Amino acid sequence: MPCGRFGQALVRRAARSLLHSDCFGITRSRASSWAVAPGYSCDCVARRLCQNGGRGHIMATAGREATGPAPARADAALAPTRRFATRDLPEHRRDELIREFYGRIGIGVDIAPIDVPLDLDISTLILPQVMMIAATTTPLRWDRRPDLTADGNDDICITWAAGGYAFRQRGRSDVEIAPGAACIIPVDRPWSAATLDGSWKTNIQIERRLLLERVPGLEDVAPDCIERRSPEAALLFDYQWCIARRPITEAMAPRIAEHIADLVALALGASPDARQAAREGGVRAARLLALQRHIAANLHRPMLCARSAAQALGISERYVRSLLADEETTFSDYVSDRRLDAIRSRLLQPSQAVLPIADIAAEFGFFEPSTFYRRFKGRFGVSPSEFRRG
């Protein structure tokens, strides 16, 4: 659900309340997980709450599972990620902290459980003018009351949940959002939403100004205006799902935010100019990521080729080749490099030590040992046997 904006004075009062209660356990080591330094103070917690221009959560920085084919370099600065999990809160204060500090103060909504106690695990990737949220929750109801809209947040939120949503917005008919379908929420208006299955939930929250010129009639989009089975909806969902669950470098963040804006605009109904720009921006980025994921999932298939990939993805073989040409590689070279990377990873696993190297190579399509050994040494500088020996 959306994140709120809040004034410095309000945030400092919230931070002071946190630090002068036992809600996080008043020890330096405990409080430091919520502050930017081992020492803690009202200012430290306030800075956490005000991360990214007042769009932050009361969250700890979290490690992220790397998904997708191009993990960030180990020495690269990563875009900020914040995490909020129920299990990190004192059990006797969880309900209060979630509903008051995280809900009303942090994201500007009332949060209420449905039938079972509150349980949340939420990770937020912060990009320029865009936030991407991956979460699991128990059945919940969110209520953006009129008084809570005074925080000034006018972002647009696109959210998906395993169980869909029962959505209500003032001035519109109630809407049932199907499981896995998108719900569009203008955050500057009162609304309420409920889901009975939050086993997975994912959000994009994007500043309105990124979409105003891209989407004619943005103010009038319906909560269920994204057609669930449309190509635009599939591109948006698949791209954001992968990006929200992988490490993103600070250098990549602005471009990814633009790609997200392109794809959101297409799904909502982009202007002709925005649609054309998106084809060269967000659409190509999403298609490339889908192609890379398809290749990664099919490295063991001997018949993996540009034609089979194109058929699986519903695009032309020429388009497949052009996507990889933009990355200064060819389909065959890219597949070969990914297969060599996979074999290298297998050789590092103690459980694979008894398997002949040639057998591992054959699993990934290298049936001629001499060709495999030559390519492995060309990529990694040592032979497979030398690499395995360490």
Within the chain, what is the greatest distance between any pair of CA atoms? 71
Burial class (CB in 10 A: 0-12, 13-18, 19+), 29: exposed
- In contact, 206 and 264? CB cutoff 8 Å: yes
What whole-number distance in Å separates Cα of residue 138 and Cα of residue 134? 14
The helix-helix angle for 231-243 and 282-297 (nearest 10°) equals 70
Q: HSE, CB side, 13 Å, CA atoms: give it for residue 107.
A: 24
Residues (pLDDT < 70) of the chain are: 1, 3-75
* C-alpha dihedral (153, 156, 160, 164), degrees to nearest 10: 80
Note the Cα 5 to chain centre separation in Å. 21
What whole-number distance in Å separates Cα of residue 364 and Cα of residue 322? 24
Closest CA to 267 of 236, 311, 309: 236
What whole-number distance in Å separates Cα of residue 213 and Cα of residue 236? 19
- In contact, 211 and 165? CB cutoff 8 Å: no
Q: Is 98 helix (H, G, I), strand (E, B) or coil?
A: helix
Closest CA to 2 of 138, 102, 115: 102
Note the Cα 331 to chain centre separation in Å. 27
Prediction pTM value: 0.79
What are the structural domains, with CATH classification, of the chain? 8-291 (2.60.120.10), 298-389 (1.10.10.60)
- In contact, 334 and 304? CB cutoff 8 Å: no
Q: Is 158 helix (H, G, I), strand (E, B) or coil?
A: strand
> Which one-letter amino acid corresponds to residue 213?
E
- Specify the pLDDT at position 32: 28
**What contacts 362, CB < 8 A, 6 or more positions away?**
none
> Which one-letter amino acid corresponds to residue 314?
G
What whole-number distance in Å separates Cα of residue 123 and Cα of residue 107? 14
* Residue 81 tokens, joined: 């990620």
What whole-number distance in Å separates Cα of residue 192 and Cα of residue 333? 51
